[in-house]
Amino acid sequence: MHKKDLIQRNPLRLLGDETEDILVDGGFGAVLARAGVGKTAFLVQLALDSLLRSRNVLHISLDAPVKKVGIWYEEVFRNMASHQDVKQIDQLWETILPHRFIMTFKVEGFSVLRLEERLTDLTEQGIFLPQVILIDGLPFDDTVRESLTHLKTLAKSWSVHVWFAVRTHRHEKPGPDGIPAPLLQVADLFEVAIQLQPEEQEIHVKVLKGGSTPSVSPELLLDPSTMLIKDKA
């Protein structure tokens, strides 16, 4: 199996319109789950889908060092490639690495202004120009709207897709439309919201907003043993 086959067989393709992206340019997507359920693994698979299509991905972590994030990527990639019986895994891994850039901040030191400054440095020097940005560890508290509004403006001007890992809590009640509490006050800024919901021994991938039309929305699972996304069928 070659890279093209790996892309086409990725279950994430089912969340869009087969060959289309899940997000539009300048769009926001949220992956919501309780701690330890698999938000980062899901984000990494979103990133790998873009990397395999030779798109530049900027992964921003607010709670893990660069080395740890890199290990997540390699482990998920190798699990995914082995599961799909991909040949020459090492060579394929080396071809996608130049398209990935990992950036870390301390939570208290992160701001959209600081991100904009660092990103400007990277782009003006021709080091890296992202097409997809992942942000893992941003607290979705009462103050987050201002930052997200600023970032939304930048995302549209940069024509990038931005994905966030959003931590939910068991005791918080969702809104009437099923949107978890942390996203309620900023849901209007998001085109797509995906929830990882543990049910008995399975983790269900539920599209709460955006993605495929509800009538054809696929049933996807996150395998707890490999943390890979798979079609329930």
CATH of 3-231 among 3.40.50.300, 3.40.120.10, 3.40.30.10, 3.40.470.10: 3.40.50.300
The pTM of the full predicted model, rounded to 2 decimals, is 0.92
Distance CA 175, CA 173 (A): 7
Cα 5–chain centre separation: 21
pLDDT exceeds 90 at position 19: no
Taking only the tens place, the pLDDT of each residue in 56-105 is 999 999 989 999 999 999 999 999 888 888 888 999 999 999 999 999 99
Taking only the tens place, the pLDDT of each residue in 167-224 is 999 888 898 888 999 999 999 999 999 999 998 888 999 999 986 544 445 688 999 8
Domain parsing of the chain, residue ranges:
3-231
pLDDT at 84: 82
Check: CB of residue 63 under 8 Å from CB of residue 106. Answer: no
| Cα end-to-end distance, the chain, whole Å | 21
> Of 72, 12, 28, 58, whose CA–CA distance to 163 is shortest?
28
